[in-house]
Amino acid sequence: MQIIDTLVNTDSDLFLFINGLHNSWLDTIMFYISWKYTWIPLYVFVLILLFKKYKFKNGLIILFSFAFLIALSDQTSVHLFKNVFQRLRPCHDPDLQGMVHYLSLPGSKYGFISSHAANSFAFAFLSIRLLKNRTYSMLIILWASLVCYSRVYLGVHFPGDVIVGAGWGVFIGFIVYNVLKKIIPVKTTS
């Protein structure tokens, strides 16, 4: 029990540090980094790259795989984690009342695990495995990490929420990739 208390306290301390780095211009940037519609052009760009690499028929299978991936990642992060563990988000935690900087309250009061983190890292993992391009890999991991950071900065997740969420997303991406490579030939070069 002492280990769990230490982890929770460390998570809260790290959260307060990151969340305390706020200022008005960064608030706006982090809001848009966290806003799901900001990244639609990125998703379209990645799908264009995948259709170009894998051609139309396999591209459609990949498109369906990404839709399934995000639905699976998103729904399991809620139903297997948030609804089970019921860990309050920092902005709803009474122990942190008055210490949390947030722009708006999220839809649910539970935050473990971060769906944004799970979805971003699931998308990143699957696209990395399919595109197999080193520069793309580094950039998409940076993007997914920035989305995770924005969730802590905005006061809606503890660092542990996004770390475990990212790990869950990679796991879901791994599963979908391994099923997908049994359906279509996955190309080994970019």
Q: Where are the domains of the chain?
A: 2-183
Neighbours of 122 (CB within 10 A): 31
Q: Lowest mean pLDDT: which of 30-34, 103-107, 157-161?
A: 103-107
Select from 145, 135, 83 the least CA-distant residue to 109. 83
Report which DSSP code applies to 96: G
pLDDT in tens, 120-156: 999 999 999 999 999 999 999 999 999 999 999 999 9
Q: Is the peptide bond before 113 cis (omega within 30 degrees of 0)?
A: yes
178, amino acid identity: N
Q: What predicted TM-score, i.e. pTM, was given to this entire model? A: 0.93
pLDDT in tens, 39-74: 999 999 999 999 999 999 999 999 999 999 999 999
